[in-house]
Structures are given as structure tokens and as C-alpha cells.
Structure 1
Amino acid sequence: MNEDLQRYLLDVSLREPEACRRLRELTLKMPEANMISSPEQVQLILLLAKMLGARHGLEIVTFTGYTSLFLTLRMPKLKMTCCDLSEEFTRVAREHWSGARVDDRISLELGPAGQTLDVLEDEGYDGAFDFAYIDADKTGYGGYVEACFTLVRPGGLILLDNVLWGGGVINEEDQSEDTVALRELNAWLHENAGSRYDLSLVPIGDGLTILRLGD
């Protein structure tokens, strides 16, 4: 999609809360700006969450809190559990959650995401989440998906960001660890779709895989 068509898409579809726009513009000034999810992708996640009637979402990893801010602002009954390792980035998230008065519905778990997911399983959160959004270290995606198969309820959604990886997944010369991990995961998810989950890979943002778990 060229830039003009992308701008048209945003002009006629995106309804971004002002608090989210401010946070996004702040984040885009950071060296790690490429880690933020695109607003049109987050709006799609919002639509899916509303269709689910979601009350509890899981985010792996939250970065500066844009996605969770967008979702909780537009869904007043939604609670989010957010995982992240960085105190620096999540300090920004906390400030904006508090400023938008949604911080009472967001639980931030600081630490390695894999360990946090293990703790959630140990504490009996099986099937406690309506959806999980994974936008984390790419080599960890497989483990996060497996954990979410347990933590997300039947009929719920698991969403994975960056699954097209800027086109790297089809560039056989790109054998970097992250690219290989995503390429293998995409193939595995496709091969194993069926009774356990339905799958669609949507070309929005940097590629969004949507899994709907079986009932």
C-alpha cells in the first residue's frame, strides 16, 4: 500500500482518542519508536475485543502503554493485565494511564514475560482472559502462544504482532534469529490450525495473526 492510500485509509477509518494521539506522538520521538503498534491495528484489536464482549485482556509486552490506553479508554468495563520488563518505558505508560484515569483498570507486571505467564498459570488464571495481544521478543513468541492457549478462554483470541517482519519472513537471505523464529512460528501455526484454533493472518501494520481458540 502506497503512502497516499495509507493516509486515505487512516483519514476515513481511524478514530484515535486524543490521549492516545499524544502518547503515540511522544513515543514516535523515541529511538525505539518502531516498537509501538500502529493505530489502525490497535483499532482493529478494539473492534475484535468489543465483538468478544471482552472484560479482561492480556498484553505481552506493553512498551509505553499505547495499546492498553486505547483499549481501556474505549471499553470502560475492560481490565488489562500488562507484562513488560522495562521500568523506563512503563514509567511513560503509567503516567499516561493515570492522566487518562484508566490506571485503576490496568495491572502492570514487571519482569520477564515468560515468568509472569508462569505465575499467572500457577495462580489459577487458566481461561481468565478473553484475549491476549503479543508484541514482544520474537524468539519468545512460541512460548507465549503456548501459555496463552491455557490463559485465554475457549472462544477467545490470541493476537500476534509483527508476523510479516517488514517482509523479512519471505527473504531467504535473512537468517537472523528473530526472522527465523517468526518464519517457523508462522508455518507451525498454519500447519496446526484446525480444531484447536482458527487462524487468519491480516496484512495490517507489520502483519497481525489472529487465532480464535476452539469452544
Structure 2
Amino acid sequence: MYETKNPQLTPELYQYVLDHNPPLGPAQRNLVETTHRALPDAAGLQTAQEQGPLLSFLVTLTGARQIVEVGTFTGFSTLSMALALPEDGRIIACDVSEEWTAVGRRAWAEAGVADRIDLRIAPALETLRALPEDRWLDLAFLDADKGGYVDYWEELVPRLRPGGLLIADNTLFHGEVTDPAAGGGAAAIRAFNAHVDADDRVDHVLLTVADGLTLARRR
């Protein structure tokens, strides 16, 4: 058995990480605080703060112009990616909640990037299946209902251009993926991770970022 090199993530070390990442902009900071204040029972659905700069970095690194996001919540991840897009870049953001995404809409407008975000309120599979089928997609971010991950993956991967990037969040599911008795979301993520492992259309890595982050590059 190999031992992890990951240090224990204490509150002090986590703050150190945040302090040494690119700082959140005013609209991002306000959105984080508004989400926790207005939706305290659901705020855990928000993408981790350190993932905001990472998503921005990956958009810049890949030169992405066309992005699809599955699972928007209050739009922190959406905002982080939109801020890194060129002016002609676009994000199709998929969600089913008018209430939660209304919080995001205000933040996107505050940051001046609302014109880069095409929010579609509908079941995500309906939205994805209506998208063009040719390989046009530069980047996709998947952070929605875990039971739908395999289906979303199967709609997104064929639409990725060669070299396009798919990012899937929560792929360690609070550490429960190692428990064969754990059902629900943990079982769904175990099935998703196995599905990704078996997919020869992509190269992929699973990282211990936040609650687990899978990066998959279309071959």
C-alpha cells in the first residue's frame, strides 16, 4: 500500500491555498458570500473556491471559446469560466432552477460577462441532445446530479473537438467511492469512474482537488 503525499487539509492550510491562488474578483467574492447567506442549506452545492481560479486557468490554457456546463447552481463556476473567455466566447449553462440561477444572473451582470453566458433552463439531457453533433466543443464542465453523469458524458464526449477537455467534479464523492456498500451518489460516481476508465476516446486523470476532479482530453 502506497502512502499519500497529500498533507492534511487543515483550515489554516486551506486558507494558505486560497491566499496563494489568483484572488477572486469582486463579483466572484460577492457571489460566494451571497450564496452562503441566501441559500445556507444548499450552499454546499457551490463549486469550491479554489476551483474558480483553476477553471479560469483551464479555459485560458485550452484556448476555449465554446463551453458547455452541466449544473450551474448559483453560477460561480460559470462566472469563473466566463471571465477567462474572449469576448466572442460562449458558455451554454444547463440547469433546472430559476431560483438558484437568478443569483448567478446578477453576478454575471455585475462582472460584465452576461453576454457570454447562454443559460438554458431545462433538463440537461434535452439541452445536450439538441446541440450540434459535430466536434465543435472546446471544454465541458460537469457538476450536476450524479446519477446522470454517464448519460451526460455520452452526450458531451462525441461533441468535443480533438484535444477538447471535459472536467467532471465530485468524482471522489466525499471519499465514499471506496465503500462498496455506499449507494446513491457514491454508487453513481463509482459507475461513472469505471465508465471513464473504459472509454478509449479520451485520456484522463483523477485528481484529489476539492471533492475529486476528473480531467478528460478527447483523443
Distance apart, 1:75 and its partner CA:
3.0
Partner residue in 2 for 1:115: 126
Taking the aligned partners of 2:104 and 2:17, their CA distance within structure 1 comes to: 27
Task: Give, in whole Å, the separation in 1 of the partners of 2:49 and 2:81.
Answer: 11
Q: Cα deviations across residues 53-81 of structure 1 (Å, max 9, x unaligned)?
A: 11111110111111111222233433111
The 3 A distance-change label for structure 1 pair 129 and 23 is same
Q: Is the 8 A contact 1:17 1:70 kept in 2?
A: no
Aligned pair count?
Answer: 208
Which aligned pairs between 1:1-215 and structure 2 lie closer than 5 A? Answer: 1-29=9-37, 30=39, 31-77=41-87, 78-120=89-131, 124-175=132-183, 177-192=184-199, 194=200, 196-214=201-219
Cα distance 1:49–1:74, how it changes in 2: closer, same or farther (>3 A)?
closer
Q: Distance in 1 between matches of 2:197 and 2:149?
A: 15
For normalisation by structure 1, the TM-score amounts to 0.91
Opposite residue 36 of structure 2, the aligned amino acid is L
Does the 8 Å CA contact 1:14/1:40 hold for their aligned counterparts?
no
Structure 1 unaligned residues grouped into runs of 5+ = none
Contact 1:197 1:213 (8 Å CA) reproduced? yes
C-alpha displacement of 1:2 = 2.1
Structure 2's unaligned 5+ residue stretches are 1-8
Q: 2:4 maps to what in 1?
A: none
How far residue 125 of structure 1 moved from its aligned partner, in angstroms, is 4.8
In the TM superposition, residue 173 of structure 1 has moved relative to its aligned partner by 3.2
2:168 touches 2:215 (CA, 8 Å); kept in 1?
yes
Q: In 2, are the aligned partners of 1:35 and 1:63 still within 8 Å (CA)?
A: yes
Q: Sequence identity of aligned pairs in percent?
A: 38
How large is the RMSD of aligned CA atoms in angstroms? Answer: 1.4
Query: CA–CA distance in 2 between the matches of 1:105 and 1:33?
Result: 24
Q: CA deviation at 1:171?
A: 2.2
TM-fit CA distance, 1:16 = 1.0
